[in-house]
Amino acid sequence: MAQKHQGPLIVNSVNEFRLALILGGTRSGKSGYALDLAKNFSTPRLYLATAEAGDEEMAARIAKHRQDRGEGWDTIEAPLELTGAIAAAQGRYQVILADCLTLWLSNWLIRGGDPAELNGVCLDLVNILKNTATPTILVSNEVGWGIVPEHRLAREFRDWAGWLHQLLAAAADLVVLMVAGLPLMVKSPNKKEE
């Protein structure tokens, strides 16, 4: 079912980015592209997993992601403490890959916390990433292109994700939008802003 990214559009010089944001819809090829990008770095490499196996289907997805990663990765489960994990990994790895920000955001929202606290957590993440010394790749779902969700929590999630993506895209050197398995370069160190 899933297809490994075969396109020519991996950034020419992967060492030119400090922060990469890989966005796309479900099954768009985000994770595969991010893995291919990260594998251009030597070991040690760190994978920060935000998913929690709440049911059999999610457990199977997590197992598939582990299999796709293969060897050469340290993995840290960070369903909530993503910022702390990124901070602690600085200088210890050649590259950090965090997959996925929308699951991390969901984990915070379903706990029913205070919006001011979530705002602070998101800003802390952005601030640590603005100063990352270790190249970091973030994977996240672009969720704002569909219909307006019927339920309040789903609307809040969509709004939080859109706001967080804007902040991260502004901080990133590289932003790639995956569509049907194809990478579209939105922002890159080699592309002049217009």
- For residue 189, whether the previous peptide bond is cis, meaning omega lies within 30 degrees of 0, is no
Structural domain includes residue 1: no
Confidence of residue 26 (pLDDT cuts 50, 70, 90): confident
Q: Is residue 169 part of a domain?
A: yes
Query: Which pLDDT belongs to residue 192?
Result: 59
The residues annotated as belonging to the active site are 65
Compute the distance between CA of residue 45 and CA of residue 41 in angstroms, rounded to an integer: 8
pLDDT of 5: 47
pLDDT of residue 112: 84
Lowest mean pLDDT among 61-75, 79-93, 101-115, 129-143: 61-75
| Residue 83 belongs to domain with CATH number | 3.40.50.300
Would you say residue 2 lies in a domain? no
In this prediction, residue 191 carries a pLDDT of: 65
Query: Does some domain include residue 87?
Result: yes
Given a cut of 70, whether residue 189 has pLDDT beyond it is yes
b/e 116-148 (16+ beta carbons within 10 angstroms → b):
eebeebbeebbebbeebebbbbbbbbbbeeeee
Does residue 114 form part of some domain?
A: yes
Q: Which domain holds residue 60?
A: 16-187
- 88: in domain: yes
Q: Give the lowest-confidence range in 8-17, 111-120, 133-142, 175-184.
A: 8-17
- Does the model's pTM come out above 0.75? yes
What is the model's pLDDT at position 117?
93
Structural domain contains residue 181: yes
Q: Note the pLDDT of residue 8.
A: 44
> What's the average model confidence in pLDDT over 2-25?
68
Does the pLDDT of residue 64 top 60, yes or no? yes
d(CA 92, CA 65): 23
127 part of a folded domain: yes
Count of domains observed in the chain: 1
Which pLDDT tens digit goes with each residue over 40-49? 999 999 999 9
